[in-house]
Amino acid sequence: MIIPDIGIKKLVEDGFLTPGLTIGPSSVDLTLSDSFSWPEPEKDKIVLSESVPHKQVQAEPLQVVLRWIQNLHKLIFVRRIYLIFGA
C-alpha cells in the first residue's frame, strides 16, 4: 500500500503510528500483488515508442517564476516530512 506524506502525518497525529518512525526503502514492502500483474504482451504488439502530439505555449516570465516557487514549496514540504520521520 502506498500512503502519501500527508496521510502518514495524519496517522502519526491520530496515534496509529509512533512519532519518530523511520519509513524508507528498508521498511517498505515493494512487492507487487496479483492485482498489479498483467499478461505478457505478444511480441508483435509491443510498442516501444509513440509520438505524442503537444503544443508549445509561450509563458510569461512571471508565470514561470510563480510555477518555480510553487514547485520549490512542494519540495521543501516533502523534505520537512522526510526529516520529521527520520532519514
In a domain, 64, yes or no: yes
**8 A C-beta contact, residue 5 and residue 76:** no
Task: State the helix-helix crossing angle for 5-13 and 61-85, rounded to 10 degrees.
Answer: 40
Q: What are phi and psi of 82, to 5 degrees?
A: -60, -40
In a domain, 36, yes or no: no
pLDDT at 27: 46
- The domain total for the chain is 1
In a domain, 32, yes or no: no
In a domain, 74, yes or no: yes
In a domain, 6, yes or no: no
Per-residue pLDDT of the chain (87 residues; tens, 9 = 90+): 566 777 777 888 888 877 776 665 544 455 555 555 556 666 666 666 666 666 666 767 777 777 777 777 677 766 666 666 765
pLDDT at 26: 45
Separation of alpha carbons 20 and 85, rounded Å: 5
Separation of alpha carbons 32 and 63, rounded Å: 40
Range of the domain at 82: 19-26+59-87
pLDDT at 38: 58
pLDDT at 43: 66
Cell numbers placing 85: 520521520
